[in-house]
Amino acid sequence: MRSFLVKSDMAYEYSFASVYDKFTEDVNYGERAEYICTLLCENGIESGILLDAACGTGSLSEIFLKKGFEVIANDISYEMLNIAREKLSSFGDKVLLMCQDMCELDLYGTVDCAVCSLDSINHLLLEEDVNAAFESIGRFIRPGGIFIFDVNTVYKHREIISDRTFVYEDDTSVLVWQNSECDETDTVEMYIDIFSKKENGMYSRMSDCVTERAYSVDAISQMLQSNGFDILNIYGDTDFSAPKDDEERIYFLARKK
């Protein structure tokens, strides 16, 4: 497997990367990958080169590879990509790992399609950063290629996660997720504490902080269009119908001009 890893001090630190898969088991990667592949197939893409931007630990990349795509798995976190490298090692030269900011991609050529999943766009806290990401990703999608991504909605930030605490636990670890109150820009700070059980029965503590911002459908649509994309559709979460008013996650389907 080829890889191009550049150390980055941004995004998730190792404390979170090391337990990310354990605490995202309810994401149902198989269902999401199948949904994305259905949208790609309906738009004439069943194989080729797929960019998995902000790929995290590579769980979706693994499924895309099994479906016959060649995958460029990109993430800004060196720690996440190290886990992805172990997960994807059996696919050889069908996968390329790249540690780069998706706002400043430098790929070796064009791709047939790009995917950015699980609210990675929400991690971009300024509209200029979202614009930069759309421009950067779009620069490497061939004309007529497809871009699919999801975002957490303004409704979710204001009504579901604002000023709330969530606790996840299993036999060996506990994750405490405390959210700040959603501010006037629909930004929420997420303070994460991970308690891992040691052999002596005591617990070690690791802490991290993640910040996400929600953008309106109109704002995202305008940024896509200004960066050379035609919006083909906007869907509810892994749905093929229009988003509901209380939708927590929505998908954008766009084509590069």
Q: pLDDT tens-digit profile of 107-154? A: 999 999 999 999 999 999 999 999 999 999 999 999 999 999 999 999
Instruction: Determine the distance from the C-alpha atom of residue 107 to the mean position of all C-alpha atoms in its chain, rounded to a whole number.
Output: 18
What residues have CB less than 8 Å from 165, skipping those under 6 apart?
A: 176, 177, 178, 179
What residues pair up with 221 in beta bridges, in sequence order? none
pLDDT on residue 247: 98
- Pair 235, 241: CB distance under 8 Å: yes
Q: Which domains does the chain show, CATH number per domain? A: 2-153+215-256 (3.40.50.150), 155-212 (2.20.25.110)
- The span from the first CA to the last CA of the chain, in angstroms, equals 32
Task: Give the whole-number percent of the chain exceeding pLDDT 70.
Answer: 90
CA pair distance 96, 84, nearest whole angstrom: 11
DSSP-assigned beta bridge partners for residue 48: none
Q: Which residue, chain included where needed, has tokens 């389907």?
A: 253
Average pLDDT over the chain, rounded to an integer? 91
